[in-house]
Structure 1
Amino acid sequence: MASCVSKTQKKFLIVLFTSLFLFSSAKPIQTQQSLLLQYHNGHLLTGNVSIDIIWYGKFASYQRAIITDFILSLSSSTPTNAQPNVATWWNIIGKYYNLVKPKIYKLVPSLGNQIMDPYYSIGKRLNINQIERLASKGSQKHAINVVLTSADVAVQGFCSKCGTHGYLESELLNKRKHRFKFAYIWVGNAETQCPSNCSWPFNLDIYGPKTPPLVAPNNDVGVDGMVLNLASLLAGTATNPFGNGYYQGSKEEPREAVSACPGMYGMGASPGFPGKLLVDVKTGASYNAYGVNGRKYLLPPLYDPSTKTC
């Protein structure tokens, strides 16, 4: 079909869309074409799923509490009346499940087993195979096994990525006497390792605009950064657990529920600027969600499949 748009009209449209992109501060402009996460007809994690944590290395009790309170906050069965809250953020994930036909139950996360390994049983320099070995220590049915490494543990590929999610084949058998897959996540503490990459915006981004870093909501730059990355990877695990769920782009480097919306923590976000956030008047800490036990968290943006925006 021939185009009916004149050269003058084309120039006007280019200027108009450029202006919208550059100067919109109330809401980011994202089109369906550029931000459509396709469903690849794979299995999603459904029903009640426990999040088992393997604590590798030394974590103080208050650091563990920051993360376990975050996991408890995901469930509406552990509510907090303050808004916006973590459970409301997680409820966006349910919209992905609503699009699957025939209908399936959404994932309902809960805090599961906690396995402690404070003495570095396999050393302080780990590769991905060793991370997977640690992940296998958790439950392998109806669970996501989360390996968290402390600040003094170096993991292969750390800094180029702050964590990862994947799946493994269980050593157990299902009812049909077949081995089944289970999901795992790894997140590292970046307090002393590339904090500008993995704990931004709580650390200065050395590659971006020199805006002052935000004050971490729980006063722990490393662990508050871990919450950011864990939240992102939990969203990716729920919606793309086995590499054939919701994603855009290549299967090897997919854009998922959070990674499709990088750096957009609040209204008016732009490269190097996380956006307008809530600020604790006593501590100066920035946050965008309330959790249980009086917690405050900074959570990453989720791609909403119903509005096709972040």
Structure 2
Amino acid sequence: MYSLAFKLFLFLSLFQIFVSARTLTQEPNQFQLLKYHKGALLSGKISVNLIWYGEFKPSQRAIISDFITSLTPSSKTLNQPSVATWWKTTEKYYKLAASDKNPLSLTLGKQIIDDTYTLGKSLTDQHIRKLASKGDQHDAVNVVLTSADVAVTGFGMSRCGTHGHARGFGKRGTKFAYIWVGNSETQCPGQCAWPFHAPVYGPQSPPLVAPNNDVGLDGMVINLASLLAGTATNPFGNGYYQGPQNAPLEAASACPGVYGKGAYPGYAGDLLVDTTTGGSFNAYGENGRKFLLPALYDPTTSGCSTMV
């Protein structure tokens, strides 16, 4: 589902830089409106279950957990721009779809840890779906996160992550949404951890300092954010997207490489910088976190919406 965006990167990388379906900066009105294909969007109270495969430090798991928690507005997060404000852009898709279902509300659900590599260190898509099925299969998105020493088919060569859906074990016809994101710190940081690592192709601007001081995990946040936006607005392949159904451009992948105003090939845009750590970011989160999140396509303006 995510391969076209990466192919787009490989083509555009002759001129610029890629980030898991993110590379080219665009001015407003250069994109056509992502077409709504009349399918279901995620709605109601949805738990985001995290399935950790491989070795992750508790501090690394906390980065992802805090990002998920930050998606819901909280009185604890008073600083702006916030992760919750970034996520609000997805609400515009629901309004345009005239959905009569309950608004989407995401919460952090279960955390399942498999640090013994029960399926080995070389995984296929079938393995990813098997791992995803360990989470809840109703009112949930199951996120499989693989550690830096785990190889996944196509990882770094054709994708940095993917989202899809699978048949549930319960009532006939039920299906659940899932996401996979890999830690690219050692395998393919030039493809999947930009702008925190020098790109493989394109302009060689100095890499930015990761806001949580972890190139692999901060890169995973970017890719997870992109895929989560795509999952909410196109969970079962018939929601909002542009292009072929099996390789669509979606809410975040339609704005590749854009993180702040003034972005251009090889430059992520004008970002905030932590005066203490030097980390670049564009959104505040829970527990004092700072994150760099991709621009989202705004269907009401036909442009890329940035936080800063």
TM-score (norm 2): 0.88
Compute the RMSD of aligned alpha carbons.
Answer: 1.2
2:170 counterpart SS class: strand
Aligned residues of 1:197 and 1:205 also touching (Cα < 8 A): yes
Residues 14-25 of structure 1 aligned to structure 2 (within 5 Å)? none
Counterpart position of 2:190: 196
Find the partner of 1:94 among 88, 91, 95. 91
Counterpart contact for 1:171–1:179, Cα < 8 Å: no
Q: Return the match for 1:300 from 291, 294, 301.
A: 294
**Which position in structure 1 is the counterpart of 2:223?**
229
2-structure distance, mates of 1:143, 1:79:
25
Hey, what's the Cα distance between the residues in 2 that align with 1:102 and 1:274? 34
Q: Match for residue 29 of structure 1?
A: 27
2:3 maps to which residue? none
* Aligned positions of 1:30-179 closer than 5 A: 30-31=28-29, 34-77=31-74, 79-159=76-156, 160-173=158-171, 178-179=172-173
1:78–1:161 Cα change, 3 Å? farther
Letter aligned with residue 51 of structure 2:
I
Larger Rg: 1
Query: Structure 2: any 5+ residue segments left out of the alignment?
Result: 1-24
- Judged with a 3 Å threshold, the aligned counterparts in structure 2 of structure 1 residues 228 and 102 are, in CA distance, closer, same or farther, namely closer
Within 2, Cα distance between the matches of 1:239 and 1:77? 23
**Map of 1:244 onto structure 2:** 238
Of 275-284 and 94-103, deviating more is 94-103
Secondary structure at the residue paired with 1:258?
A: coil
Tell me which of 289, 292, 302 is aligned to 2:283.
Answer: 289
Residue 182 (structure 1) aligns with: 176
Distance 2:61 2:244 in 1: 35
Q: Which residue of 1 aligns with 2:273?
A: 279
Residue range with higher mean Cα deviation, 93-102 or 152-161: 93-102
Kindly tell me the number of residue pairs found equivalent between the two proteins.
279
Q: Stretches of 4+ moved more than 4 A in 1?
A: none
Moved more, 96-105 or 156-165: 96-105
Alpha carbons 1:58, 1:150 under 8 Å: kept: yes
Partner letter of residue 144 of structure 1? V
Deviations 1:35-85 (A, max 9, x none): 310000001110100000110000000000000000000011465110000
- Indicate if the aligned counterparts of 1:97 and 1:105 stay in contact, CA closer than 8 A: no
Instruction: After TM superposition, give the deviation of residue 106 of structure 1 in Å.
Output: 2.4
What SS is found at the alignment partner of 2:102? Answer: coil
Aligned partners of 2:99, 2:271: CA distance in 1, in Å?
A: 39
Call closer, same or farther: CA 1:180–1:157 in 2, change over 3 Å: same
TM-score (norm 1): 0.88
TM superposition shift of 1:103: 2.7
Aligned residue number for residue 263 of structure 2: 269
- The alignment partner of 2:46 has SS state of strand
Amino acid at match of 1:302: L
One-letter identity of the residue aligned with 1:143: A
Moved more, 239-248 or 76-85: 76-85
Q: How far apart in 1 are the matches of 2:163 and 2:37?
A: 18
Q: The residue matched to 1:71 in structure 2 has which SS? A: helix
Q: Does the alignment pair 1:218 with 2:212? A: yes
